[in-house]
Amino acid sequence: MKNTLIAAAFLIVGALSLPTSPVFAKSLSFETYKQKPKLVVVVVIDQFRSDFLTRYQKDFMPASSLGFNHMMSTGAYFAQSTYGIMQAMTCPGHAMILSGSYPAQTGIQINEWYDTKTRKKIYCADDAEFGFSPRRLKTTTYGDEVKNIYPDSKVFTVSLKDRSAIFLGGHRANMALWYEDKPKEWSTTKYYGDAPKWLEKVNVKQRTQGNLEDKTLEASIAGVNATMDLAITALNEEKLGQRNVNGPDVLGVSLSNHDILGHKLGPDAPELKKLTLEEDKQLAKLFSSLKQKNLLDKTVVVFTADHGIPPASDLLRVGKVATGELDFLGAIKQANEKLTKEFGSSGEQGWVETVFLNHVYFNRLRLAEKNIDSAKAQNLVKDIFAQIPGVYKVVTREQVLNAQIPYFDLRWPVENSFVPEAAGDLMLVMEPFYTQKTGAVVTHMTNWNYDNSVPVIMWGPKWFQAGVYAGSKVVDIAPTLSFVTGVLPPAKASGRVLDEAFKSNK
């Protein structure tokens, strides 16, 4: 009897710990399920925190204009979705959106990391053969799964940033296009084959324009216009959603200028509000194009962001909120002195080679040469870095590898984010509103809500019930799209199907 009760208790606890659908989950009728979308459009705004939609809702165009208010009022609006990762940035964010997977699964932990073997920095989308590609992505995306069973489907993505277009598209995208500021034109790489012929006509005009990546409001408005225009051109020229093929086409567009201007001015600057209102117009322009092509009832549109942003430090200080920039130099010196005293000379490089994006990288080559236990070195100096003003906690590499993270509030985001090839020997978790020195007015690279909370809207009146919902994660987007379009979820997808938002059969 006792064993039976214990077994039952474990079953109950196990069931409670599994990801489940909400109690009020809905089902699609088989007739609705058979009516697959012809087109899936994914719109991402870089650095668009979840409260930006509610903050400026009254200033957006009316719902009839087909902008934000249209999506919020007629779509399944998950007002505060979360990433649940340690460092919210562009590369890991875009890699998560259509893979449904966390950085620990995608292999994309941060935008750039330090390689202790080559002693060089590695960019997330670098490719020795092609310059840029999605090859560092260690899973498939929604678009890849569509192409796996429907080879005739097309996947096109566009963004000012190469990494945004590349990781939205995945491995099998027909084309990923991004902006190069030197020739001031839209570009791609041979990984995707030859650029579409219609692109040259676009670039002839684009080369006569100003730099779309300039950190001004004027350039930012021009940038979101040019990016959306390119997406609509791809829609028209490639006849996305308009061809007689079995599977859906996929169009991904990421608007980068919000991030570019936001880093310079901070999210509360009046210029950022003006840019948000311009983005409202651009979304309306996209919906109008879909309407003109008679595609609205054949399309699912997803809107989200790759990460959020904290308020600027000067605004926080006025509000008497603790803030500041971390200074690592003193800690690096102390750590090197302590490690030298313990282990002797480190050679030409210090024992601590660098601190980059809040990761402390040791001289692992020298540690291996001297047969020194890395865990011992980590434990010797972790408290030195923990004493830096603005550091919340320090997590060691060994703690993560052995599943012994001692801080309950950090276990989930750290485990979600840890990529052995990219992570440092120590990972510094900042106090809220503290940042690493970057030269920007404000930046994002934390696990706190202001960086992790973004909106998610699933729009498609045939499939999704209008309403405001809670409880979603960004990794839920890809499994939901996979379900609605009848393809397999991406290989490592961890999210769930957002079935509570399905159109009611009643």
461 and 405 within one domain: no
Nearest-5° angle of CA 197, CA 44, CA 143? 60
> d(Cα 57, Cα 68) in Å, to the nearest integer?
8
Tokens 């979840």, residue?
50
- Give dist(CA 156, CA 442) in Å, integer: 32
**In this structure, are 226 and 116 located in the same domain?**
yes
Chain mean pLDDT for the chain? 94
- Provide the pLDDT for residue 26: 78
Q: Which amino acid is at 23?
A: V
Residues 141 and 264 in one domain: yes
Average pLDDT over residues 197-217: 97
Q: What is the pTM of this model?
A: 0.94
Query: Is the separation of the CB atoms in 465 and 76 below 8 Å?
Result: yes
Same domain, 301 and 358: no
Residue 443 included in any domain? no
| DSSP, residue by residue, 48-90 | --THHHHHTGGGSPPGGGTSHHHHHHHSEEEEEEE---SS--H
Statement to judge: residues 150 and 208 lie in one domain: yes
- Whether residues 417 and 487 share a domain: the answer is no
DSSP per residue, 315-383: HHHHTT---EEE--HHHHHHHHHHHHHHH---TTS-SEEEEETTEEEE-HHHHHHTT--HHHHHHHHHH
Domain tally, the chain: 2
Q: In one letter, which amino acid is 187?
A: S
Please check whether residues 183 and 243 belong to one and the same domain. Answer: yes
447 domain residue, yes or no = no
Percent of the chain whose pLDDT exceeds 90? 89
Q: What angle do CA 138, 140, 145 make, to 5 degrees?
A: 165
Element (H, E) at 115: strand 112-115
Give 466: exposed, middle or buried? Use CB within 10 Å, 0-12, 13-18, 19+.
Answer: middle
Instruction: Identify whether 407 is part of a domain.
Output: yes
Going by pLDDT thresholds of 50, 70 and 90, the confidence category of residue 3 is: very low
Please tell me whether residues 147 and 218 are part of one structural domain.
Answer: yes
**Pair of tokens at residue 203:** 């670039």
pLDDT grade for 505, boundaries at 50, 70 and 90: low
Those residues with Cβ within 8 angstroms of residue 249's Cβ, 6 or more apart along the chain or in another chain: 38, 39, 40, 153, 154, 155, 156, 238, 240, 241, 243
Tell me if 162 is assigned to some domain. yes
Residues 263 and 370 in one domain: no
- Provide the token pair at 124: 């997330």
Buried b (16+ CB within 10 A) or exposed e, 265-297: bbbebebbeebbbbbbbbbbbbbebbeebebbe
User: Rounded distance, CA 358 to CA 430, Å?
Assistant: 8
* Distances from the Cα of 201 to the Cα of 190, 204, 244, 346, angstroms: 19, 5, 27, 57
Helix axes 162-169, 90-97, angle to 10 degrees: 20
Dist CA 165 CA 278 (whole Å): 21
The answer, yes or no, to whether residue 320 has pLDDT greater than 80, is yes
E-assigned strand segments in 363-464: 391-396, 426-430, 434-436, 453-459
In a shared domain, residues 476 and 374 = no
Region 112-116: mean pLDDT is 97
Question: Are residues 304 and 333 located together in one domain of the fold?
Answer: no
Closest CA to 393 of 404, 385, 403, 402: 385
In a domain, 289, yes or no: yes
Same-domain check for residues 96 and 226: yes
- For 229-279, the pLDDT digits (tens) are 999 999 999 999 999 999 999 999 999 999 999 999 999 999 999 999 999
- Region 409-433: mean pLDDT is 97
Residue 144 token pair: 């890849």
Q: What is the pLDDT of residue 22?
A: 47
Helices 142-149/477-485 angle, 10° precision: 20
The helix (run of H) or strand (run of E) holding residue 255 is strand 249-255
The predicted model gives 212-227 an average pLDDT of 98
What HEC string does 145-203 produce? HHHHHCCCCCEEEEECCHHHHHHHHCCCCCEEEEEECCCCEEECCHHHCCCCCHHHHHH
CATH (domain of 407): 3.30.1360.150
**369 pLDDT exceeds 50?**
yes
Domain of 62 in residue numbering reads as 17-308+456-501
- The C-alpha atoms of residue 220 and residue 202 are separated, in whole angstroms, by 19
From 412, 430, 448, give the residue that closes a domain.
430
Residue 110: alpha-carbon gap to chain centroid: 10
pLDDT in tens, 60-111: 999 999 999 999 999 999 999 999 999 999 999 999 999 999 999 999 999 9
pLDDT confidence of residue 504: 74
Instruction: Specify if 34 maps to a domain.
Output: yes
> What pLDDT does residue 506 have?
52
In a domain, 319, yes or no: no
CATH number reported for the structural domain that contains residue 185 in this entry: 3.40.720.10
Q: For residue 300, what are the β-bridge partners? A: 40
| Residue 11 in domain | no
Instruction: Judge whether 240 and 39 are in contact, CB under 8 Å.
Output: yes
pLDDT value at 130 more than 50: yes
pLDDT band at 439 (very low <50, low <70, confident <90, very high): confident
Q: Which two tokens stand for residue 205?
A: 């005009």
